[in-house]
Structure 1
């Protein structure tokens, strides 16, 4: 039913998390060492799996039990089918995933070194065609969600439209501006609750070359962000909001592949925020999910269920 313009189920919103973002096929090769400029190295057999920041965050949230929907665009090719199958396996609602005829699905080419770190090149494909109009057409889904999670692998104007619509509908915005733009407008920062950035993104968007995570988070809040989360890889994360700044320690694990770990973190964070948890508590949970995700190969295939957390 609809109450005050919000779609609800038994008095609650129909979705915990709506992810508006990218969907890519991940093509992954493992190497003994990553090549330098002009160099060729031999790698493992190519592995094809479902990925993309938006699809990853949706899969992570769904596997954790959140009622999750994805608004994304894929091509009518084999990679598009791969992505849809991955979301079905995770338990994501797919009615808002659009299939663009004649388009190629977004593709990420990933090289993973022996330490688990990776280098990634993304070809946007159908992601570049996810338009503001597509978001406007999905207004009911935005209104039906407790949290809308966004990234920066779709057109910026589409992100802006989704943020504006979420604010109109009273839906909380989790904004992960990755890959980071040169700057974020004030209205995007003002809507971010939280802004989720890694160390490089925090330094760039805050405009501060010095200091550390607490200083970068403080600078981003001074620029208008309602709350900020800085992810620190194996060292955990930092959360900053009106309640203060909290450093959350990392969980010691043996890293196999870090691909998609940040997306696992963000999907978990959105899940707990949708459940009403305080930011610092949600970050503590998300750190555990991110740590679990690096212990297996791939992005979505590595995402844990609640029973698999360290």
Structure 2
């Protein structure tokens, strides 16, 4: 396997990527620790930024100068205006959808340990319509990213309808997220059955599989889907499960600031590598570096540029 420097210096897109999901507005607040019920604690407001799983994944590709297409709807309202302004600054296409529904937002509470807790208020990104995707040639994409937040409730039916338009050889990259056990079991089964590539953290993988060992959980996911699975394991790097084998790809040391968006950044790093023709192991090594950089930064959408990756690592 090549080293990180060689990987970063030779990134060249070969495949087409489509990102489906949300552009959320994150209000980041630092707290010493999460309060107990009835408590009154002091918080330190840090900033308000655009985040959301899909936006964070797109942020990785954007920072690495890799092309992608995305559908992250922009609604109507205070938070939608913040999203619209950020998209304009980045030069992202703006998909303004009809209606009077605002974009979602959340309170991102970061503890001194770096652990984060989200309190989410969902918006237009959970009220998608299949016809909104008619402008896209879904069959032209090689990798399609979907977040678990977008497959809850009726929105999930729309996502499955859209994914039916993909080519048989296209890879759906699915990150169910921390609410994985709250997903309709039939919805989760649909992603297993379509052979989606799951990217999850160790806790999520163990809950999904019923396994207590992270490697066994990763192997269970890969066997169930027939597709490689990637399971992040904090500072210990990530487990890759493929063809009946689980192997660990080492992580990178980092001083943890918070973990907001680090899982999304890891998924973005994996997609970045795969779309450039890297091996899965090389893609995960790149993802480990990207995620560690994000973990050392405050808030969402803090992925590194190529230069920053080379400087830091």
Interval of TM-score (by shorter of Structure 1 and Structure 2): 0.7 to 0.9
Q: How far apart, in 2, do the equivalents of 1:156 and 1:139 lie?
A: 18
Q: How far apart, in 2, do the equivalents of 1:58 and 1:226 lie?
A: 23
Compute the TM-score of the two structures, normalised by the length of structure 1: 0.86
Match of 2:278 in 1: 277
Change (3 A) 1:212 1:88: farther
Q: Which moved more, 1:30-39 or 1:12-21?
A: 12-21
Shift of the alpha carbon at 1:57?
0.9
Matched, 1:109 2:107: yes
Change (3 A) 1:101 1:182: closer
Change (3 A) 1:14 1:114: same
Superposition pairs of residues 72-221 of structure 1, within 5 angstroms: 72-90=72-90, 93-95=92-94, 97-135=95-133, 137-140=134-137, 142-154=138-150, 155-168=155-168, 170-178=169-177, 179-180=179-180, 181=183, 183=185, 184-206=187-209, 208=210, 210-221=211-222
Match of 1:238 in 2: 239
Shift of the alpha carbon at 1:177?
1.3
Could you list the runs of 5+ residues in structure 1 that have no partner in the other structure? 1-11
The structure whose RCO (Cα within 8 Å, separation 6+) is larger is 2
Change (3 A) 1:88 1:58: farther
Compute the TM-score of the two structures, normalised by the length of structure 2: 0.85
> Do 2:139 and 2:167's aligned partners in 1 also have CA atoms closer than 8 Å?
no
> Do 1:14 and 1:144's aligned partners in 2 also have CA atoms closer than 8 Å?
no
Q: How far apart, in 1, do the equivalents of 2:38 and 2:164 lie?
A: 45
Superposition pairs of residues 216-231 of structure 1, within 5 angstroms: 216-231=217-232
- Superposition RMSD in Å: 2.3
Q: How far apart, in 1, do the equivalents of 2:149 and 2:74 lie?
A: 13
Shift of the alpha carbon at 1:192?
4.1
Q: Which moved more, 1:82-91 or 1:62-71?
A: 82-91
Change (3 A) 1:90 1:282: farther
In the TM superposition, what whole-angstrom CA distance separates every residue of 1:113-154 from its partner, at most 9, and x where no partner exists? 11221110111111111123323x1441x2343311111112
Q: How far apart, in 1, do the equivalents of 2:167 and 2:203 lie?
A: 28
Change (3 A) 1:41 1:108: same
Shift of the alpha carbon at 1:243?
7.6
Q: How far apart, in 2, do the equivalents of 1:289 and 1:150 lie?
A: 19
Change (3 A) 1:196 1:59: same
Secondary structure, counterpart of 2:298 in structure 1: coil
Secondary structure, counterpart of 2:97 in structure 1: strand
Change (3 A) 1:290 1:23: same
How many residue pairs were aligned?
291
